Amino acid sequence: MTSSEILDVSIRSLYVAGTATLLASSWSLVLAFLLASKPRLRPIASILESLVGIPTVLVGLLLYMLLSREGPLGVLELLYTPQAIILGEAILVTPLITSVAYRVIKGSIETYGELALTLGASRLQVIATVLLESIHGVVASIIMGFSRAIGELGVALLVGGGIKGYTRTLTTAIALEVSRGRFEEAIYMGLVLVVIVASISVVARILWLREQY
């Protein structure tokens, strides 16, 4: 692959994984707060935690069956599009983001929320305090979700198809190069993938340290 092609799949990978992570976060964080603040719902958290390690190929297969022409959502014509990958990756990382955020928010409620209540804080003040104290853990859960989304293969391959210039991401490009016996190109793109994930983690760490000081 040429440098321009590697840049193309890298940008697409960032866009797809980033959009999927933001989409998943929009409902995962709300769900995490509800689970942490309402004890009767906490058994659901155990179910979500058990789904954290669900195989990506299984999610991809189920979504493929839904989006295929004969499937119930075939009329949407999303199969083999970036939107299908985004949807699949969002579903995939939802249990991870929710579970990690739930643990963080639950701890903040037990530590700071109850203290705020005893000091006479209103419900809104308690929620604000809990969210403020949970922010670093919540950001960490989002970063973990992004790392899994950008590094997954099953969903991107099954519902994206690895179409050149359209749905091909770093992971599907790596799989393609390996199938062609081009291991040097595959290793190079693998390094690009590692650098992207590591860079985002470093930036998040720097921002966290700046907030501390």
Annotated domain spans of the chain: 3-212
- Superfamily designation of domain 3-212: MetI-like (1.10.3720.10)
Give the pLDDT confidence score for residue 209 in this predicted structure. Answer: 60
Q: What 3-state class would DSSP assign to 15?
A: helix
Which residue carries 């470093």 as its tokens? 202
- Looking at residue 201, its pLDDT comes to 80
- What burial letters (b/e) apply to 77-100, b meaning 16+ CB within 10 Å? ebbbbbbbbbbbbbbbbbbbbbbb
Write the Ramachandran bin of 169: left for phi over 0, alpha for psi from -120 to 50, otherwise beta: beta
Q: Helix or strand or coil: residue 200?
A: helix
| Contact criterion met (CB below 8 Å) for 34 and 98 | no
* 141-to-90, 148, 201 alpha-carbon distances in Å: 13, 11, 11
Largest CA distance in the chain: 67
H or E stretch including 194?
A: helix 183-212
In tens digits, the chain (213 residues) has pLDDT values of 778 888 999 999 999 999 999 999 999 999 999 998 888 888 888 899 999 989 999 999 999 999 999 999 999 999 999 999 999 999 999 999 999 999 998 888 887 776 776 766 676 777 777 788 888 888 889 998 999 999 999 999 999 999 999 999 999 999 999 999 999 999 999 999 999 988 888 877 776 665 455
Classify the C-alpha dihedral 190-195-196-202 as positive or negative. positive
- pTM reported for the whole predicted model: 0.90
Rounded to 5 degrees, φ, ψ at 120 are: 90, 20
Task: State residue 211's pLDDT score.
Answer: 46
User: What is the structure's pLDDT at 39?
Assistant: 82
